[in-house]
Amino acid sequence: MKSIVKRLSLIAIGAMVGVTLGSASTELEKVMKERGLSQQDLLAAAKTYTPSGGRDKYIVFSSGGQSGQVIVYGVPSMRILKYIGVFTPEPWQGWGYDDDTKKILAEGNIRGKKITWGDTHHPAISETDGVYDGKWLAINDKANPRLAIIDLSDFVTKQIVVNPVFKSDHGGAFFTPNSEYIIEACQYGAPFDNNYHPIEEYKETYRGGVTMWKFDHDKGRIQPDKSFTIEMPPYMQDLSDAGKEVSYGWGFTNSFNSEMYTGGIEKGLPPFEAGMSRNDTDFLHIYNWKKLAKLAKDDKNVKIINNHRVVPIDVAVKNDALFLIPEPKSPHGVDVSPDGKYIVVCGKLDTHATVYSWEKIQKLIKNKDFAGKDPYGIPIIDMKKAAHCQAELGLGPLHSQYGPNWKDKGEIYTSLYVDSQVARWNYLTCKVEDKQNVNYNIGHLCGMEGKTRDPQGEYIIALNKLAIDRFNEIGPLHPQNHQLIDIRGKKMQLLYDMPLPLGEPHQAVAIRASKLHTKVRYKMGTSAFTGNTHEGKTLAGQEKIVRKGNHVFVYGTMVRSHINPEHVTVNKGDTVTFYLTNLERAEDETHGFTIDIYNVHTSLEPGKTVSVTFKADMEGVFPYYCTEFCSALHLEMMGYLLVKDPNKKYTAAAKLKMAKMTPQQLKAEYDKTVATNKATDAVIQSVVKFLKDNHFEKYPTVKNLVTDALDQYGKIPEQKKKSDEAVKAGDLEKAILFENMIWQYMVKTADVGIRAKDLLVKKIASPMNEAQKRGHEAYLEGGCTGCHVIGKVSSGPDLVGVLSRHKDGEKWVKEFILDPESKYKDPYVESMINYFNLRMPNQGMSEKQVEDIIEYLKWVDKNANLF
């Protein structure tokens, strides 16, 4: 009775939908009205909406700000794809909860102090010949001067280095055009050594600088022993950029406290902010890193501080490798043009962006045409003589990105912090062209490869500091707001707001997705952090538990859906190491691992080996389990750590007398299990036949799934052998369990096999023409699925072959859909009504829709073999 009610209500819903079906555009208008959307909104939606399964053209790496992580998302969809654990723990990935990741995080300890947070600022993608190569990502931590390297083949952090002389770091990371070095500029002036120096001796003992980290581009590792720091006055060095092409070999770093003001508000002195913005200009530092790198190799040119090579100011000056140019009041961003000919500096407290000409700077340096020297003896280049032009942009210009028409039209985009705008202007003529409002207070802006030699244009992302009224209220702390702007048209268009609840975004970099080449799985037994074979690599059959003194080593494996071993018994006080290898080869078959209360967790992607070590300092029973819902038997993927106190005597519990099954009952259950397995196997065989008949091997994704399914299937004979042995030994209880295991493998095989079949059907079915597509839509929306399933008899007859079931089939079906009642007395229809206890209802379809449905049914018949 119930099911009839359900069927009837489905029909009713179908009829209702059928009435409004009219045309998609009426529906669209209705939604627009309901949600208050404009045409412009629809256009923005169409430009960003990515249908299920769709991909993005660009991948963005955004600083995760105070989270100490990196956020990965796609453009134009703005869908978040990953958080990468960098300087701080990230539980999902086990980042900071297993031995291997703890080791990487410990590389970031400073002077013996463990630091569990970071203030990530500027991500940078490695470059070859001035364009992104998609291999490595670097990012800095401003709070605790550190730099991290992330491998873009698996999106995992591989190295953290601590700056040996700085006490903060802001102007990093910036790659040189061939990734020879990574530039890291300090921020707050401080002594290079680790000693106390009174603030009154600021000018004498506090210093700023730029560290040039040598980068091994093949291995993707910073080489600290080959790196050096260029000593600079304590002017609060800010952002940096590397020269390219004509300015290759040079670096540019600006600063905001040429006053060298030291504050003291509590002593009645004006605060930092007043003293630091007194001068009309600050200094852009220009340095020849190529020359300095050579000089730094010679011991007599460097001071060794904290085991690190520092090139003193006077050595750099003597070798014509360090200069200053005044730049308007408290500048912020410095951005070199794609051809390296111009350097654009934005003055935070000035309404201008200043464009410097590299050609002019070079000439002035060559002719030693200087305006003077700073107190440390560094030559100062005359600002007016070096400037190409100045653009009046608005209030608070901060950062710039280039567009594809940079060469002929000087296309550049600059963020205006105070005005909350993005300005499009021409850096060759210094003329402003367009402005786009953003909400609110934009800091950085991210162009698509917008600071490489080959900017792609299309979009700019505004990374805003405030969100105020943009999103639902969630308490006083608002999310950050990334806004996507289309820059293809004459006017810029705001497309999308993306709230990010993970720290201030600072800077983001975008790369074409096609330039990334990521791994699907690890080579079996790999440590993700070294890329080498892990010492704990364990293959199937090699599982073991080894005791060495009071350290117990568990060599374990994980595969759908069990952890081997399942019982681990140790003594209280033992140190325990679990080595775990994920034996899966299938894409996305990740397992996780944790043990009750021991605060360990790890993520095991296919092929990966990881270790977790802890002291079993508490007696008790501690379940461990897989933390990813990896299969239908995920909950069963578990085991027990049993910790006993060796000094305690345990009395055995009195055994309960449980009712036992009779031999007949056991035999019946065994027979039933075997029969179920047989039936399941028949289903598998039919799927396998379908896959083979339709040449699954021609489609790589399908092939991968089939390989995995057959892999599961291949484990059955071993279990069958064990089952048969148990039968022979008269232990039916055990045999049933092995038969159950066989069934588990069959279910896994069928699960993956059916997924493969569905995928294959999609790939080989003939494509639908427009009328067929419309017909399919009408079929779905008209409520036909309430009773009909293609390829199966359900609440109504199967529709495969319906067109040839009647004489003049097309005409018959058309009449029947348009006016079912007229045929209720037809003997065939009458018999159907009796059989299904249901009548075909009038769905109120138009003639056109019915014609389309008939076209769709023709497509069904053509592909009948696939259903």
- Binding site residues, ligand CUA, CB under 6 A: 561, 591, 626, 628-630, 634, 637
Query: Environment class of residue 841 by beta-carbon count within 10 Å: exposed (0-12), middle (13-18) or buried (19+)?
Result: middle
Which tokens hold the place of 325?
A: 């140019």
For 821-850, the DSSP string reads GGGTTSHHHHHHHHHHT---------HHHH
- Specify which residues 556 forms β-bridges with: 580
Which tokens hold the place of 777?
A: 């839509």
For 745, the 3-state DSSP assignment is: helix
Asked whether 409 and 425 are in contact (CB, 8 A), the reply is no
User: Smaller CB distance to ligand CUA: residue 210 or 630?
Assistant: 630
Separation of alpha carbons 471 and 269, rounded Å? 41
Smallest gap, in angstroms, from Cβ of residue 637 to ligand CUA?
Answer: 4
User: Smaller CB distance to ligand RUQ: residue 105 or 398?
Assistant: 398
User: Smaller CB distance to ligand RUQ: residue 170 or 207?
Assistant: 170
Which residues fall within 8 angstroms of residue 456, CB to CB, at 6 or more apart? Answer: 58, 404, 447, 448, 449, 450, 512
Smallest gap, in angstroms, from Cβ of residue 588 to ligand CUA?
Answer: 12
Smallest gap, in angstroms, from Cβ of residue 374 to ligand RUQ?
Answer: 24
Smallest gap, in angstroms, from Cβ of residue 417 to ligand RUQ?
Answer: 7
- Contact between 451 and ligand RUQ (CB under 6 A)? no
User: Smaller CB distance to ligand RUQ: residue 398 or 428?
Assistant: 398
User: Smaller CB distance to ligand RUQ: residue 508 or 583?
Assistant: 508
User: Smaller CB distance to ligand RUQ: residue 151 or 241?
Assistant: 241
Separation of alpha carbons 603 and 612, rounded Å? 11
What secondary structure letter does DSSP report for 290?
Answer: H
Q: Which of 285, 309, 444, 451 binds ligand RUQ (CB under 6 A)?
A: 444
Question: Inter-axis angle of helices 700-713 and 732-764, to 10 degrees?
Answer: 170
What secondary structure letter does DSSP report for 376?
Answer: T
User: Smaller CB distance to ligand RUQ: residue 97 or 235?
Assistant: 235
Secondary structure of 327-356 as H, E, C letters: EECCEEEEEECCCCCEEEEEECCCCEEEEE
Separation of alpha carbons 573 and 585, rounded Å? 37
Instruction: Mark 237-276 with x for binding to ligand RUQ (rule: CB under 6 A) and - for no binding.
Output: --x-------------------------------------
User: Smaller CB distance to ligand RUQ: residue 88 or 414?
Assistant: 414
Q: Is the peptide bond before 76 cis (omega within 30 degrees of 0)?
A: yes
Which residues fall within 8 angstroms of residue 427, CB to CB, at 6 or more apart? Answer: 337, 342, 344, 353, 355, 389, 391, 406, 410, 412
Exposure string of 752-763, with b = 16+ CB inside 10 Å and e = fewer, is bbeebbebbeee
Q: Which of 104, 108, 121, 782 binds ligand RUQ (CB under 6 A)?
A: 121
Smallest gap, in angstroms, from Cβ of residue 628 to ligand CUA?
Answer: 5
Strands of the 387-392 sheet, one edge to the other: 331-336, 342-347, 352-357, 387-392
Separation of alpha carbons 839 and 7, rounded Å? 11
Separation of alpha carbons 11 and 497, rounded Å? 40
User: Smaller CB distance to ligand CUA: residue 612 or 630?
Assistant: 630
Instruction: Mark 597-616 with x for binding to ligand RUQ (rule: CB under 6 A) and - for no binding.
Output: --------------------
**CA neighbours within 13 Å on the CB side: how many for 526?**
16
Q: Which of residues 319-338 bind ligand RUQ (CB under 6 A)?
A: 332
Q: Which of 329, 506, 591, 788 binds ligand RUQ (CB under 6 A)?
A: 506
Smallest gap, in angstroms, from Cβ of residue 466 to ligand RUQ?
Answer: 12
Q: Which of 134, 145, 234, 443 binds ligand RUQ (CB under 6 A)?
A: 443
H-helix or E-strand spanning residue 311: strand 308-311
| Among ligand RUQ, ligand CUA, none, partner that 591 touches (CB below 5 to 8 angstroms by kind) | ligand CUA
Instruction: Mark 275-314 with x for binding to ligand RUQ (rule: CB under 6 A) and - for no binding.
Output: ----------------------------------------
Smallest gap, in angstroms, from Cβ of residue 748 to ligand CUA?
Answer: 12
Smallest gap, in angstroms, from Cβ of residue 152 to ligand RUQ?
Answer: 21
Smallest gap, in angstroms, from Cβ of residue 714 to ligand CUA?
Answer: 19
Which residues fall within 8 angstroms of residue 588, CB to CB, at 6 or more apart? Answer: 606
Separation of alpha carbons 286 and 281, rounded Å? 16
Smallest gap, in angstroms, from Cβ of residue 146 to ligand CUA?
Answer: 34
**Closest listed residue to residue 538, CA positions, set 618, 604, 633:** 604
User: Smaller CB distance to ligand RUQ: residue 296 or 509?
Assistant: 509
User: Smaller CB distance to ligand RUQ: residue 122 or 776?
Assistant: 122
Cα-Cα-Cα-Cα dihedral of 500, 506, 510, 513, to 10°?
Answer: -40
| Residues in the chain, total | 867
Smallest gap, in angstroms, from Cβ of residue 528 to ligand CUA?
Answer: 18
User: Smaller CB distance to ligand RUQ: residue 421 or 744?
Assistant: 421
Smallest gap, in angstroms, from Cβ of residue 516 to ligand RUQ?
Answer: 24
Query: Environment class of residue 657 by beta-carbon count within 10 Å: exposed (0-12), middle (13-18) or buried (19+)?
Result: exposed
Sign of CA dihedral 460, 466, 467, 468: negative
Q: How far is CA 418 from CA 238, 275, 412, 492, in A?
A: 19, 21, 19, 19
Q: Which of 157, 205, 507, 594 binds ligand RUQ (CB under 6 A)?
A: 507
Smallest gap, in angstroms, from Cβ of residue 155 to ligand CUA?
Answer: 21
| Among ligand CUA, ligand RUQ, none, partner that 602 touches (CB below 5 to 8 angstroms by kind) | none
Smallest gap, in angstroms, from Cβ of residue 517 to ligand CUA?
Answer: 28
The alpha carbons of the chain give a radius of gyration, in whole angstroms, of: 34
User: Smaller CB distance to ligand RUQ: residue 242 or 580?
Assistant: 242
Task: Using CB positions, name the residue nearest to ligand RUQ.
Answer: 443
User: Smaller CB distance to ligand CUA: residue 471 or 629?
Assistant: 629
User: Smaller CB distance to ligand CUA: residue 626 or 845?
Assistant: 626
Smallest gap, in angstroms, from Cβ of residue 706 to ligand RUQ?
Answer: 49
| Among ligand CUA, ligand RUQ, none, partner that 626 touches (CB below 5 to 8 angstroms by kind) | ligand CUA
| Among ligand RUQ, ligand CUA, none, partner that 507 touches (CB below 5 to 8 angstroms by kind) | ligand RUQ
Q: How far is CA 829 from CA 820, 833, 845, in A?
A: 9, 6, 20
| Among ligand RUQ, ligand CUA, none, partner that 637 touches (CB below 5 to 8 angstroms by kind) | ligand CUA
Separation of alpha carbons 229 and 108, rounded Å? 19
| Among ligand RUQ, ligand CUA, none, partner that 630 touches (CB below 5 to 8 angstroms by kind) | ligand CUA
| Among ligand RUQ, ligand CUA, none, partner that 443 touches (CB below 5 to 8 angstroms by kind) | ligand RUQ
User: Smaller CB distance to ligand RUQ: residue 399 or 757?
Assistant: 399
Separation of alpha carbons 578 and 544, rounded Å? 10
Smallest gap, in angstroms, from Cβ of residue 574 to ligand RUQ?
Answer: 48
Smallest gap, in angstroms, from Cβ of residue 398 to ligand RUQ?
Answer: 5
Which tokens hold the place of 390?
A: 């100045």
With contacts defined by CB under 6 A, how many residues of the chain interact with ligand RUQ?
11
- Interaction site with ligand RUQ (CB under 6 A): 121-122, 170, 239, 332, 398-399, 443-444, 506-507
